[in-house]
Structure 1
Amino acid sequence: MTQETKHTAVGTGADVLRALHHGRAAGDPLVLPGPWDAASARVFADAGFPALATPSAGISASLGYEDGEGTPPDEMFGAIRRIARAVDVPVTADVEAGYGLPAAELVERLLEAGAAGCNLEDTDPATGALVEPARQADRLAAVRAAAGSALVLNARVDTYLRGERTPAAAVERGLLYAAAGADCVYPILAPTTHLTTIAEALAVPVNALCRPGTPSPWELGALGVTRVTFGGTLHTEALESVRSIASALTR
């Protein structure tokens, strides 16, 4: 498939997932739990969540790897495929920085795995530094051109991880990424005091990370956030339950 090849998504999971981002009331964000395998995906889907968002950290840990490009792409896409196959709701996949794959190949592999969307971050895994914003926007535009409407594209902004930790820096990148075709912008680790400013400045939905000690998903929604995800938190909490079970068995 060439980079210019377009995929259509009439009535597909991408359509459903994209629609879930719009028309939401304040305080009612799209809450997307992060399954790390098929069994956890079924649990979340059976609980009534309308879509799921795989976390690279949770999947990597479940496969025995460190997060941050340590998981072989074949194993990551295999895990995404098993999760998507296990449920009847759309699944969006965290594919980190895209594993060095050309846009067309990345899109093809996501679609073959059954994903309805993806996260792409703007940290260069080779250097650990932020990708120059215009270059990242070009990358996102290439993914959008290859996918057409068949993927919901969530552009992660890493300025709060390793850049200038200001709303202005996040908004600058977010505007570029939205113009390149991103459906949603994800300023990961943005302080709650910055979220409203960021959300008001962008013309697309904003994703926020919910972790222990941060406001609830609904409180984040009241700040202007449209979508809430959890990274590897839910997998970590599940492991704590397993540790408790293991500890009880050793007494």
Structure 2
Amino acid sequence: MEKVINHISQHRLAENFHALHHQQQTLLLINAWDCASAKMIEAAGFPAIATSSAGLAWSLGFADGEKILPEVHLEALKRICNTVQVPVSADIEGGYFRNDIHRFSIFIEQLIDTGIIGINLEDGYTHEAHLNDIALHTTLINIAKEMGYKKGINLFVNARTDAMLLPGTIENKIQTCIERASAFAKAGADGIFIPFIKELETIAVLKSEIQLPLNILATDTLPFNKLQELKVNRVSTGSRPMMFLLNHFRKLLHQVKIENIPDQLFSYEITYNEINSWFL
């Protein structure tokens, strides 16, 4: 049964999501890519869910990098929000219509109508060493916030900068991050997401210089306990959970091909009835 969006409850979910960025402990967000993964994250006790732009696109037959049709993305987000009761934040990459302010505004309004309470909005172009003009990105942030208020919610805008992909010294990249974080905050951003950092020392500098809640992408060189010690506000897993499962599925396929069907295929904790009950 489709859940009707209640803007009062959506407002509360948004406020709860904001609060999770201002607590003592680091918010760990496991990124979902479809309804089943979102439901599993909720059932495991995580207080909020973020979507993976790559994972969601791949699950629907599109490449990452704003290749998924906006209307298909919106429908997928609506289905995810209908499936869970916790706050859901959407990675919308650059917002599809970064160069068309009117269409961007309409897209954000449609996005909020899916039940989403937060967004990631990036200033890069599919991991390329090129960033939006800072004036353009601050305009997009401001529009997203205003559309949220228009719809009665305090939309959490997590402004992402891909400054770490720029050429140059790490000192220059850090300075660009700091300058952009300051401008994004003035435009109304609620958090700053800086992926592609490799060293804890860089995070320590950014944390000391940036006032916005800091979001870091989990990697094998950035232990979660160390990020907690640095008081990083939010850690995201990105497309890694989906990639992890696909990696194991590939191993299963290889095993089936050379050894026949393994016993593990029939040994599992989660049952058909449990999964099916999520969607009744």
Would you call these one fold, judging by a TM-score over 0.5?
yes
SS in 2 for 1:88: coil
Verify: 1:180 aligned to 2:184, yes or no. Answer: no
Equivalent residue number for residue 21 of structure 1: 21
Work out whether residues 84 and 113 of structure 1, in 8 Å CA contact, stay in contact via their aligned partners in 2.
yes
Identify, as 1 or 2, the structure richer in helix: 2
Aligned with 1:69 (options 27, 52, 66): 66
Alpha-carbon distance, 1:95 to partner: 0.3
Q: CA RMSD of the aligned region, Å?
A: 2.0
Alpha-carbon distance, 1:86 to partner: 1.1
Equivalent residue number for residue 166 of structure 2: 162
TM-score by length of 1: 0.89
Change (3 A) 1:169 1:8: farther
Equivalent residue number for residue 133 of structure 1: 134
SS in 2 for 1:59: helix
Higher relative contact order (CA 8 A, sep 6+): 1
Alpha-carbon distance, 1:214 to partner: 2.3
Structure 1 unaligned runs (5+)?
A: 1-6
Work out whether residues 38 and 86 of structure 1, in 8 Å CA contact, stay in contact via their aligned partners in 2.
yes
Work out whether residues 133 and 173 of structure 1, in 8 Å CA contact, stay in contact via their aligned partners in 2.
yes
Deviations 1:119-171 (A, max 9, x none): 0000246x972111122112211211221243111000110123554211101
Aligned with 2:47 (options 45, 50, 64): 50
In 2, Cα distance between equivalents of 1:163 and 1:170: 13
Change (3 A) 1:176 1:86: same
Verify: 1:195 aligned to 2:184, yes or no. Answer: no
In 2, Cα distance between equivalents of 1:190 and 1:114: 31
Q: Report how many aligned residue pairs link the two structures.
A: 240
In 1, Cα distance between equivalents of 2:35 and 2:12: 20
Change (3 A) 1:48 1:10: closer
Structure 2 unaligned runs (5+)?
A: 1-6, 260-280
Alpha-carbon distance, 1:50 to partner: 0.1
